[in-house]
Amino acid sequence: MAAATQTAPALLTLEEYLRTSYHPDCDFVDDHIEERTMGTPKHGELQMELGFWFRSHKLDWKIRVLGDTRTKVSSSRVRLPDVAIVREDETLGEKIMTTPPLIAIEILSPDDRLHRVIPRLQEFLSMGVEHVWLLDPIDRVAYTLTAAGGLLPADGPRLTLPNSPIYLDLPGIFSALD
């Protein structure tokens, strides 16, 4: 009986990845495409609510809000945060964001597992993102990831940026899912 052979995934350069469109878009991890967990309606609804929230404060907070934007977190990895908040004066690359966003937000999907999500979030911290948030639309909880790698539940009804007017009203955002 002949042994079955497995085909190794094709290697891809960063340049090839950036020239290619994927539907839905994928992460680029160490010369390979990595599919993202597909969002559910609650995931998509929360993503839109976050966009509306931050967009409504754009002028006051001098920010821009981006969704699913290719972000180069290291020389061999590109991730797409569900929502990224950048400073108003930030120069954005044509095909990829290379400057760390002010905030990277990920939204849990029912199929997500923390052991896979946390390393992804840590890549944003390693890139230099100052604030990394994780929101769960099902359990309606929010977390921040610390530089030490700890995932801490939100302390109160807001996620805030110290010394900044920027905040996220958690009850308001989650109630929009009703």
Query: What is the mean predicted confidence (pLDDT) over 157-176?
Result: 95
Contacts 24+ apart (CB under 8 A), 66-72: 66/92, 66/97, 66/101, 68/25, 69/97, 70/18, 70/25, 70/95, 70/96, 70/97, 71/96, 71/97, 71/98, 71/101, 71/104, 71/124, 71/127, 72/96, 72/97, 72/98, 72/127
What pLDDT score was predicted for residue 152? Answer: 92
Stronger pLDDT, 126 or 11, i.e. the higher one: 126
Query: What is the mean predicted confidence (pLDDT) over 35-48?
Result: 85
> Which domains, from first to last, does the chain contain?
38-175 (3.90.1570.10)
Give per-residue pLDDT as tens, 99-112: 999 999 999 988 88
Q: What is the 3-state secondary structure (H, E, C) of the chain?
A: CCCCCCCCCCCCCHHHHHHCCCCCCCEEECCEEECCCCCCHHHHHHHHHHHHHHHHCHHHHCEEEEECCCEEEECCEEECCCEEEEECCCCCCCCCECCCCCEEEEECCCCCCHHHHHHHHHHHHHHCCCEEEEEECCCCEEEEECCCCCEEECCCCEEECCCCCCEEEHHHHHHCCC
